[in-house]
Amino acid sequence: MASFYELAQLCETLSQTASRIQRVQLVAEFLSTLAPEEVEIAARFLAGQTLAQGENGRLKLSARAVWKAAAELAGETEPDQALLANAADFGEAIETLMRLRGAEAGPTLAVVDVARAFEAIAAIAGRAARQGKLAALRELMARAAPLEGKLLARIVIGEMRHGVGEGLLVEAIAQMAARPLAEVQRAFMLEGDVGRLARAARHGDLKLDAQAISPARPRPLRPMLAQPAADIAQAFALLDRPFALEHKLDGARVQIHRFGAEVKIFSRRLNEVTRSLPEIVTLVQESVKEDGVIMDGEVIALGADGRPRSFQDLMRRFGRVHDIQRLLREQPTALFLFDLIAWRGRLMVDAPYHTRWDALSALAQRAGLTLAQRIVAGSVKEAEAFFEDALTAGYEGVMAKALDSIYTPGARGGGWLKIKRAHTLDLVIVAADWGYGRRRGWLSNYHLAARGEKPDELLEVGKTFKGPSDEEFQTLTEQLLALKHDERGKTAFVRPELVVEVAYSDIQRSPRYPSGFALRFARIVRVREDKFAADADTVATIAQRFARQAAGVSPLGGI
């Protein structure tokens, strides 16, 4: 049986190999030595996946759980946080912690053993699930050598740090199977799970038919993604051909399958969320009469007044299987469709977007389903007016889709663009965390605060490590160290003098911060050298923006 230790050694070698060609060759050679079942597992582990695509959510293990298990095995109730701060990454910190217990350095696990252990952990449910999962993880790590523990940690948190992305892994699978790369890429686009792809390639059983689907195929296709565009003018320049604009909803992407009487719903990450959205299931069952249909769309949360609620509120519904009837009353949802991936048992991924939209429009009209609002842009002026109307109505922005674009699952096709207008606030840095890995030695995770009602009161509204370049991280570290007045653990607390302009996607209610709010997807745009802390934005301003965000024009009509 294939040794998990050998896989860990391969990952170490890959992390020290600069050449892409050599990395592809190393992975291909390793996979070619494995049995079919082992090939599937190893490919999945190399991609940083514990389970099959769409199943990772069942594991419910966090980095905190891995750290706790390793610490208990090392006899450390509270291991030194400096160990984590000084490590190159989380996996290396776990390896060091495991060496404290004097674990054996050689191989102890098989690849199949680890896969079975992950499946067993994922299957643990019930009131004591958390404790049961932690105990099972601790048992697995107790059998692992330090180097194996390092790889286990990296797989669980999905940060492999070996330079093998999805594209490179697919190249290695093609080389292993001695098949044309384009052929294997096509098969992966339709399959979606790199483990199953590797196994099929080993058997010479790649699925290349982009048309036929069946009720027996329980797996969704990965959603097509979009490239960002700065504005409408850039969208015209990049696409350089006829395109449509659609409202970009701030909800959850869903893929809806209708085969016979059965309806299944999958999330953006391909996790099945059917049981969490029974009202959407009923809607599709009662309205869609055609068989073999796969629709792409967005679900948004609604308040009692029919207005859209925040993305955070919607996320309370996803993955929930208990108290659904209560949540149905408290947090109803609405469905908006924007693409048709399969129609009457035939995939439509190779059909142009305008053909898919026409078929979807006809289906929606017959079924009484709601489509995302859309126009075919005739001019920059018309498109900009549509964009401004979308922003006024409370949408994130718009999607621009070339009329001739095909549907490319899992890829950021050049035929789709997303256009949003960034919101910004001027905030004060009140503390910062020391980074690790490439950011070791820098204060690189910044605690952001807005002014409160009282004089000199600053209330945190979130953190971010995004935005600055390496040079800017260095400069910010020097500036913040000059302002430092205290340091506890990995956090340096600074005098509130440095103001930064922060972009964000939206505002959420948050009991975590004293301000009561949190910024979603915050990133630093620039340091405001021209501003003092007294010039920073206030929590009242954030509250006003949140109110406008919540009171925007509903996609269902009305204010």
Amino acid (1-letter code) at residue 371: L
- Dist. CA 95–CA 61, nearest whole Å: 18
CA atoms within 13 A on the CB side of 494: 28
Asked whether the CA dihedral 151, 153, 156, 160 is positive or negative, the reply is: negative
- Dist. CA 470–CA 51, nearest whole Å: 35
Task: Tell me whether residue 418 is one of the annotated catalytic residues.
Answer: no
Closest CA to 145 of 1, 9, 2, 44: 9
Contact 57, 319 (CB under 8 A): yes
- As a whole number of Å, the CA-based R_g of the chain is 25
Pinpoint the alpha helices (H) of 411-469: none
Pinpoint the alpha helices (H) of 16-87: 20-32, 36-46, 63-73, 81-86
In angstroms, the Cα distances linking 272 to 29, 221, 265 are 34, 12, 6
Closest CA to 410 of 160, 166, 198, 162: 166
Which residues have a Cβ under 8 Å from the Cβ of 123 and sit 6 or more positions away?
Answer: 58
Q: Which residue in the list 133, 248, 264, 463 is annotated as catalytic?
A: 248
- Dist. CA 93–CA 81, nearest whole Å: 10
Contact 519, 541 (CB under 8 A): no
Pinpoint the alpha helices (H) of 244-369: 278-287, 311-315, 324-330, 353-367
- Dist. CA 551–CA 347, nearest whole Å: 39
Active site (catalytic) residues:
248
